[in-house]
Structure 1
């Protein structure tokens, strides 16, 4: 699949099943992440890959972070990581830098997530980028071994789409892009 086709046809796939990417394919996905734009080459990204029984532990961590939930909400938290055979948690490890503010480090990590999503799509897999309250909870950060200054940018759920029920909507670029200064002001 060429790059333009991948960019134009990628979609979020909320229903994922086995197979997940193989070790060889996962390395290709990782390498795509490492090509994300990165001001001053800080490489602020860290990634945690979770599969198998690790998904159950992640669900338990989510539930621990939200103890006042109803039984139904707790069940949803426990089962959330089971919606895909693999999850990659993208973390921005923010460092002080005179030229690279935290927002750029978070943006670089977000670009790495997008690169992984596109690479997975190009390899025939599907993904969905999720967060939710638990992703921003200090209990979850601590349970994942992260520092207080680390920011979870996203959880990229990976696998094989069970259905293609989310068509990519056509969008008019004129609604989002404009020339500046406007030609009449030149």
Structure 2
């Protein structure tokens, strides 16, 4: 194992955490756009830039919250509505990241990889600026009610919903499996 000091990139990768508790401090739109434009440099095949974004902040968080709640079953809504409403109205920004559903397997795989790279790049750039992000892939993303309510078109896939804000709590690091434990080498 290399004991030399980590580069800034390696340090950011190791120190970034998924944040689930946020301060109520608003996130400036200029900062969000700057981070999004930085993430636009993520690798993507043929420069297709297969990403699109739907953002909810401020009073519009109510629309996002209603879309999530509307995607729940009656039983789920009775059980979780108060908790989810409080949670989603506290998170400063919800960013839905969408990609086109290319029917060609190769292009779909390339586009999905590119959008995932965009999300990781955004998370790292945000962390560097003191912002926390959690990348969610909850069942509501697949519900027709949610998709329609937030403006996801037929032929598009939600790759993730990013919750963004200044961290209230930063969780400790969890151990990672060394690469050697999962590596098969052919020489």
If the length of structure 2 is used for normalisation, what is the TM-score?
0.85
Q: 1:133 aligns with which of 139, 150, 166?
A: 139
Structure 1 residue 164 displacement after superposition: 2.3
Q: Distance in 2 between matches of 1:171 and 1:15?
A: 26
Query: Any unmatched runs of 5+ in structure 1?
Result: none
Q: Distance in 2 between matches of 1:92 and 1:128?
A: 19
Query: Any unmatched runs of 5+ in structure 2?
Result: 1-6
Q: Which has the higher helix share?
A: 2
Q: Distance in 2 between matches of 1:80 and 1:132?
A: 14
- The answer as to 2:81 corresponding to 1:89 is no
Q: Distance in 1 between matches of 2:26 and 2:147?
A: 25
Q: 1:11 aligns with which of 10, 14, 17?
A: 17
Structure 2 residue aligned with 1:143: 149
Give deviations 1:91-139, integer Å, cap 9, x for gaps. 1122355x84312212211111111111100111111111211111111
Structure 1 residue 80 displacement after superposition: 4.3
Structure 2 residue aligned with 1:123: 129
Q: 1:23 aligns with which of 22, 29, 40?
A: 29
Give deviations 1:49-79, integer Å, cap 9, x for gaps. 2111111111111111224234122334434
SS in 2 for 1:154: strand
Aligned positions of 1:100-179 closer than 5 A? 100-179=106-185
| Contact 2:57–2:94 (CA under 8 A) maintained in structure 1 | yes
- The answer as to 2:84 corresponding to 1:73 is no
State the Cα RMSD in Å: 2.1
Structure 1 residue 46 displacement after superposition: 0.4
| Contact 1:20–1:125 (CA under 8 A) maintained in structure 2 | no
Q: Distance in 2 between matches of 1:79 and 1:136?
A: 22
| Contact 1:36–1:111 (CA under 8 A) maintained in structure 2 | yes
